[in-house]
Amino acid sequence: LKVINAGASTPAINLPVELDNLGSVRNLAANFLGRYDRLDVLINNAGVFPPKQRFTVDGFEMQMGVNHLSHFLLTNLLLDCLKASAPARVVTVSSKLHKAGEIDFDVFKGYEKYNSQSAYSGSKLANVLFGIELARQLEGTGVTSNVLHPGAVSTDIIRDLPWLLRKIIGMIFVSPEKGALSNIMLASDPVLAETNGKYYDQCELTDYSPQADDGSLCKKLWDVSAELTGLGG
């Protein structure tokens, strides 16, 4: 925040949240809406990649809970504010690994046999399905929804990996600054003001998994997510 504030005309505000706790997500939304009546851009960026199966405070498998459900809930809680602020944008960070993912509605509460890579790919596919379904629902509102893969970025998501592997990743992955370029582009490029329902890989428009073209699958994920997060059917 010190770095941001040093070059910004308006100070950055820190609103803490624990994304493994849906109650905390609700508190964040309430805190924001209690302070502000405008939201121009929402970037759903946080993610986890635990090597062993873990669970959220609400009992969900950690990757699906944090990487998808928390973002789903936060976006929906802030949706009216986004619409009132139109033109506005929602940007959801996924991964190209989503193309190897599958949506299994039985694993929200945990896997019988946990594989961290499969769980991550599944949660990243959920990001894409959510972002594309959101785009469909936002048509005509002045709010857009797009999804991106930032590249292989060296961030805290690797903090639970063995030390040597973290060291290697740190040498070959791109910096967080470079990884943020796609976020910045989709959040602020005037050329993309009306772009909706698209997927970008490191700033390049590309195809997402064909599963995201399955409207019934996207809608089912939306409905299940709404039920699990307490938003209704």
Which residues have a catalytic role annotated? 120
In the block, tokens 């989709």 appear at: 186
CA 19 to chain centre: 11
- CA proximity to 136, closest of 64, 221, 68, 65: 221
CA 78 to chain centre: 14
DSSP SS3 for 146: strand
Please state, in angstroms and rounded to a whole number, the distance separating the CA atoms of residues 122 and 204.
23
- DSSP letters spanning 53-104: --B-TTS-BHHHIIIIIHHHHHHHHTHHHHHHT-SEEEEEE--GGGGG----
